[in-house]
Amino acid sequence: MTKRQNKLRNRRVVPAGSVTDADLQALAARLRYEGIATHKLHPGDYGLIPPVNPRPTKSPCDELRPLLRAAAARLFRQGLLAGMISPFVADGTPKYVWAVDEDGEVYEAKTKPPDTTYHGYRLGDDEREMRRYILGEWSKRCP
């Protein structure tokens, strides 16, 4: 697996409180998580075609355990409502949304704005610095 660039300015969480709760609610209503086959080892209930198509250069979201669509969508929504988003780009859409599951695993969802559908993946060992950063922000916003 190749290492993603983690020093990109847009791969940072917006400052806490810089986006209103009403705006975060509006984002949660407008944006959606879909998932893609290139980040799956287990097809689960995603209905992907092909069912799975993991690439060696992609981080699978379900590397540790299967992650059903409802659980992934719930994590995505939690991240949105907690303000765990990157700065807005085209059309008021953040490129990244982050969330942490109950086991402390960090997930990153990504889109190509102005698209409003996201796919996600777990941040693995090649992303230790980014994982620490997201865990720190998550602990401040979701105590």
Consecutive sets of 10 residues in the chain, 143 residues long: mean pLDDT of each? 52 95 96 81 70 66 76 96 92 93 94 88 90 96 88
Residue 45: alpha-carbon gap to chain centroid: 18
Domain map (residue ranges) of the chain: 21-141
Q: Which of 22, 57, 60, 56 is nearest to 41 (CA)?
A: 60
Q: Which of 90, 91, 141, 94 is nearest to 118 (CA)?
A: 94
The predicted structure's pLDDT at residue 49? 67
Q: Measured between alpha carbons, how far is residue 26 from residues 13, 128, 130 in Å?
A: 18, 31, 27
Report the predicted TM-score, pTM, of the whole model to 2 decimal places. Answer: 0.83
Q: What is the distance between the alpha carbons of residues 78 and 141, in angstroms, rounded to a whole number?
A: 11
Q: What is the distance between the alpha carbons of residues 50 and 38, in angstroms, rounded to a whole number?
A: 9
The predicted structure's pLDDT at residue 61? 67
